[in-house]
Chain A
Amino acid sequence: AQKVTQAQTEISVVEKEDVTLDCVYETRDTTYYLFWYKQPPSGELVFLIRRNSFDEQNEISGRYSWNFQKSTSSFNFTITASQVVDSAVYFCALSEAVYNNAGNMLTFGGGTRLMVKP
């Protein structure tokens, strides 16, 4: 069974601070995919990034960066110089490789609520 844990339920920072959101996952598969989604106060779920288990390169996109460490089963997300608009709930998710007709279902972590204060 797969499981995603986001131990930080809520984080509060002041604007311009850097913040890291932790994500730890469990899976028995050797091939799997990791995702981060953002849920702003308006409620929609916005896709941020996808990473497969064979690609351990870190990724940077503007102020966002992701650190994938297979050895510790972690896929952490860092926001540099946070802004008020970054305030949202962030979800980490896992999808195992498909060998049957199981499809592309995602297992989500419980989410981390990030509050960025001006």
Chain B
Amino acid sequence: DSGVTQTPKHLITATGQRVTLRCSPRSGDLSVYWYQQSLDQGLQFLIQYYNGEERAKGNILERFSAQQFPDLHSELNLSSLELGDSALYFCASSPRGSQSNSPLHFGNGTRLTVT
């Protein structure tokens, strides 16, 4: 058990809809990262938050947004969903904001299916 909690585990929704994925980092970790794993794109970094502030941005679509709350949990909001957004979305956490030597600990992911 990595200590990173993601909910829900599975989500099935229709095109055009909006969903929210939730992540609770490991106790003591200040950074939260979101990754998307799809068959054609592999594992792609979306966005990172550190102690409530956006720290780094990757290949995140404008239809997607995220935030980290004062209690350090994070939410990833996906809107105007398209079939191609179907993927496994991972959240990860690490204890420090800007140091590359901390391994990321991943949650079990949320599997999103857009029909």
Binding site for B on A (CB under 8 A): 31-33, 35, 37, 42-47, 50, 52, 91, 95-98, 100-111
Contact = CB atoms under 8 A, between A and B. Distances in A.
Contact of A44 (B96, B100, B101, B106): B106
Given A35-B103, A43-B109, A103-B48, A108 B43 contact: yes
Interface in B63-94: 88, 90, 92, 94
A101 B101 CA distance: 14
Across the A-B interface, give the 7 residue pairs with the lowest CB-CB distance, nearest first. A45-B106, A103-B56, A108-B43, A95-B100, A103-B55, A105-B45, A103-B48
Given A43-B108, A44-B106, A45-B90, A107 B45 contact: yes
Interface residues of B, number: 31
A89 to B, nearest CB: 10
A101 B106 contact: no
B1 to A, nearest CB: 9
Q: Identify whether the interface residues of B are mostly helix, strand, loop, or mixed.
A: strand
A12 to B, nearest CB: 20
Given A35-B103, A43-B88, A103-B50, 16 more contacts: A31-B100, A33-B101, A37-B106, A45-B109, A47-B104, A98-B99, A101-B55, A102-B55, A102-B56, A103-B55, A103-B98, A105-B56, A106-B45, A106-B104, A108-B42, A109-B42
Nearest to B98: A98
Contacts of B99: 98, 104
A44 B109 contact: yes
